[in-house]
């Protein structure tokens, strides 16, 4: 795994896309690591690139409640992993025109909330479990042309996650509970159960 800067990553992606009809990039990291921000910046800086979040493949709250998983929302088993794998396979063949998004304010999936732009040929897919070394996530490995992991110290993740929950209206005590009972548990699962990425971007601030 090679440590790289964001600027160098953009250059590598630009070069990798030359003469290619499609390039699929996996941006992986813990909750609060900055995956969405990085994916969106890359997409904005590269012609024909689009950021695509995995969050739209959350199982709905009714299903999670029925399975006793609502408090663990965001864990690997709370996503439609099979549906996401099928989606990425369709992206790889150019057969996908839309994707579901996730509305955080409503805590709900929006089917077909995102559209693939016609000129897209660099797909910057961001999510927690894109490199998870467990079925069915493991089957995605052969589809990625490039994989990038974000490395953020746990103390910094905690700070960001608590701030995120507080920004959503939760008291500090509840924000800390949510961060420690779920988000940081998932962060450790990503760290311990994922395959190494080709490149890593380390947060040092």
Closest CA to 7 of 38, 48, 50, 53: 38
How far, rounded to the nearest angstrom, does the alpha carbon of residue 20 sit from its chain's CA centroid? 23
Strands (E), the chain: 2-3, 23-28, 49-53, 98-103, 108-115, 122-127, 146-151, 199-202
Task: Give the C-alpha separation, 70 to 43, whole Å.
Answer: 32
- pLDDT at position 53 is 96
Percentage of residues in the chain having pLDDT higher than 90 = 86
117-166: per-residue pLDDT in tens? 999 999 999 999 999 999 889 888 889 999 999 999 999 999 999 999 99
Domains contained in the chain, CATH given: 2-202 (3.40.50.300)
User: What does the pLDDT read at residue 141?
Assistant: 86
Please, which residues have CB within 8 angstroms of residue 120's CB and are 6 or more apart in sequence? Answer: 48, 49, 50
**Is the model's pLDDT at 107 over the cut of 90?**
no
Task: Pick the closest to residue 146 from 91, 94, 197 (CA basis).
Answer: 197
Q: Would you state the structure tokens that stand for residue 149, as one six-digit string?
A: 């992991």
Q: What is the mean pLDDT of residues 169-184?
A: 94
Tell me if 151 sits within 8 A of 202, measured CB to CB: yes
pLDDT at 142: 87
User: Above 60 in pLDDT, residue 205?
Assistant: no
pLDDT of residue 130: 96
Contact 101, 155 (CB under 8 A): no
Residue 204 confidence (pLDDT) = 61
Q: What is the pLDDT of residues 53-100, one digit of tens each?
A: 999 999 999 999 999 999 999 999 999 999 999 999 999 998 889 999
Average pLDDT, the chain: 93
Q: How many CB atoms lie within 10 A of CB 111?
A: 10
Degrees, nearest 5: CA angle 119-121-47: 70
Burial class (CB in 10 A: 0-12, 13-18, 19+), 51: buried
Tell me what pLDDT residue 3 has.
93
């Amino acid at each position: 795994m090679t440590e790289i800067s964001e600027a160098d990553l953009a250059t590598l992606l630009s070069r990798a896309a030359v003469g290619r009809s499609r390039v699929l990039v996996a941006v992986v990291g813990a909750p609060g690591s900055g995956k969405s921000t990085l994916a969106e910046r890359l997409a904005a800086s590269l012609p024909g690139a689009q950021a695509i979040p995995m969050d739209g493949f959350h199982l709905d709250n009714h299903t999670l409640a029925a399975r006793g998983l609502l408090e663990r929302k965001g864990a690997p088993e709370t996503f439609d992993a099979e549906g996401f794998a099928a989606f990425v396979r369709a992206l790889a063949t150019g057969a996908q025109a839309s994707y579901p998004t996730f509305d955080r304010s409503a805590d709900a999936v929006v089917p077909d909330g995102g559209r693939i732009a016609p000129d897209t040929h660099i797909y910057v897919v961001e999510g927690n479990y894109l490199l998870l070394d467990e079925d069915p996530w493991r089957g995605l490995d052969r589809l990625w042309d490039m994989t990038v992991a974000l490395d953020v110290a746990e103390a910094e993740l905690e700070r960001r996650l608590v701030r995120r929950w507080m920004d959503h209206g939760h008291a500090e005590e509840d924000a800390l509970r949510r961060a420690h009972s779920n988000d940081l548990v998932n962060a450790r699962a990503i760290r311990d159960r994922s395959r190494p990425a080709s490149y890593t971007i380390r947060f040092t601030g």
